[in-house]
Amino acid sequence: MEQTTEEVVTPTRKQRNLAIKVAKDVLESIHGLAIQTGAYVYASTDLDGIKGSKAQAEYLSTNKRCRTCALGACLLSLVKLRNKFEFEISNDTYGDHSPYIGVSWETAQERLKEAFTPQQIQQIEDAFEVYRMGNIYPDLQATIRFGQAYSDDAERLTAIMQNIIDNDGIFTPVPRG
């Protein structure tokens, strides 16, 4: 077992219930998004005329020009469920697009703590990205192997969200086999 840099924290019942709701919403929204590794939430569109963070999240969740990773998809679902969020608009160039809507890792992680522990956030990220981004939980290899079992990003995200639902709000990676 890998060494952890932090004590593993068990999610509260409230977090677990919210994690299940988020996972279910992600599964309902997955076909409206461009799922890809390394994206968080980036959309080459503007939100002019779309008032309120819930309406903005709904719009982004159905916009194929919105690229998102696992945590970005969870963030969009959480905002739809809980509201109160400011999307960041950048006039910088991202790829071929300017301006774009972006959400940083720090912003996403802070908001996702409502539904997931820091370890769960990191574990979801590592399984989706199929890359060790952190080392704050046990069973790093099982997490990476879980992600490696799915070559398609959308399929991998579906498996992660279904795992959260199946395990009562806790991502418990068991590589398929």
Phi-psi region of 39 (alpha: psi -120 to 50; beta: other; left: phi over 0): alpha
Q: Tokens 């160039």 — which residue?
A: 93
- pLDDT tens-digit map of 134-167: 666 667 888 999 999 999 999 999 999 999 999 9
- The amino acid occupying position 94 is Y
Q: Does the pTM of the predicted model rise above 0.75?
A: yes
Q: At what angle do helices 105-112 and 70-82 cross, to 10 degrees?
A: 50
Residue 35: enclosing H or E segment and its boundaries? strand 34-35
| Rg of the Cα atoms in the chain | 16
Domain residues of the chain, as ranges? 13-166
